[in-house]
Amino acid sequence: MIAMVENREFNAFAKRIIRAYGRRVAEGDVDALPELLELSASLDEAITNAVKGLRAFGYSWAEIAERIGMSRQAAQQRWGKAIPDQRDTETNT
């Protein structure tokens, strides 16, 4: 396993940036609202890529789901279509 290097600090930094951006938009920058919404799509993509990487690294759906407080089935339903199961790709080749 790879050690968490600065993930907690990086997470806190990202949250501060996003909150500050939201405050700036809330203070009257209506033209920036669509760009703020784009962050949601970027975050979803980043999460999918992270889960895909964890699966490739060998983590099970149960291990991933436990970390985020959901069932294995819920995690697999949410990200499984974007991330082919290794067993599925092996049987199709």
| Cα separation, 2 vs 56, whole angstroms | 13
Q: Is residue 65 part of a domain?
A: yes
Q: Which domain holds residue 35?
A: 7-91
| Cα separation, 20 vs 26, whole angstroms | 10
pTM value is 0.73
Q: Report the domain count for the chain.
A: 1
| Cα separation, 54 vs 56, whole angstroms | 5
Q: Is residue 22 part of a domain?
A: yes
Interval 33-75: pLDDT, tens: 999 999 999 999 999 999 999 999 999 999 999 999 999 999 9
User: What is the chain's length?
Assistant: 93
